[in-house]
Amino acid sequence: MIEKTEILKSLKWLETRYKKSKSPRASLLYSKLAIIEICGWLEVTMDDVVKRCAKRCLKEKNHLKYIQETIIQKTHGFSYNDHFRKMLISIIGLTNFEKMEKNSDPKKLSDFCASLSYLVPNRNSEAHTYLKGTTKKIDAPSQTIGHFIKLHVGIHEIEKWLKANGF
């Protein structure tokens, strides 16, 4: 099951603080934290989807250990092609991954990939800088919540297909 309640609670808390903030700096910090928080959730969730898929597919403990230690632990990021896709392909193979992409709801998958593509550079920018002033623009937490909804729906669609097809 893909966790949704806690991250949504955190994002809504940040949105409330953002709306009540009296300074532009505080607003930027709440916005920055929302982006970093959702991206942390994404990395953990992608890892969990891959772990559950591996547990359903692989019977040998050494293969499960390999996936955990060589694939999951050495993947640092949450882009679709460079991270999530590669982890899943290592378990189900490229042929089955193609089938998943072809047979999943195209709108859900497209929205998922678009939100990932949008968040990756934003997260990288925010995670590797600090606020030097208050002229910087960062998406409000409400926009991040919008991305979260698309991400949750998309990753749920992928996991649903994996389970339905014996992965």
10-69 confidence digits (pLDDT tens): 999 999 999 999 999 999 999 999 999 999 999 999 999 999 999 999 999 999 999 999
- pLDDT the model gives residue 133: 61
- pLDDT the model gives residue 82: 95
d(CA 14, CA 5): 14
Measure the CA dihedral 149/152/154/155, to 10°.
170
74-127 confidence digits (pLDDT tens): 999 999 999 999 999 999 999 999 999 999 999 999 999 999 999 999 999 888
Confidence category of residue 134, pLDDT binned at 50, 70, 90: low
Is there a domain that residue 11 lies in? yes
Is there a domain that residue 115 lies in? yes
Is there a domain that residue 160 lies in? yes
Predicted TM-score (pTM) of the model is: 0.93
Is there a domain that residue 130 lies in? no
Q: What is the DSSP letter of 140?
A: -
Is there a domain that residue 133 lies in? no
Work out the average pLDDT over 139-152: 97
Is there a domain that residue 112 lies in? yes
Is there a domain that residue 131 lies in? no
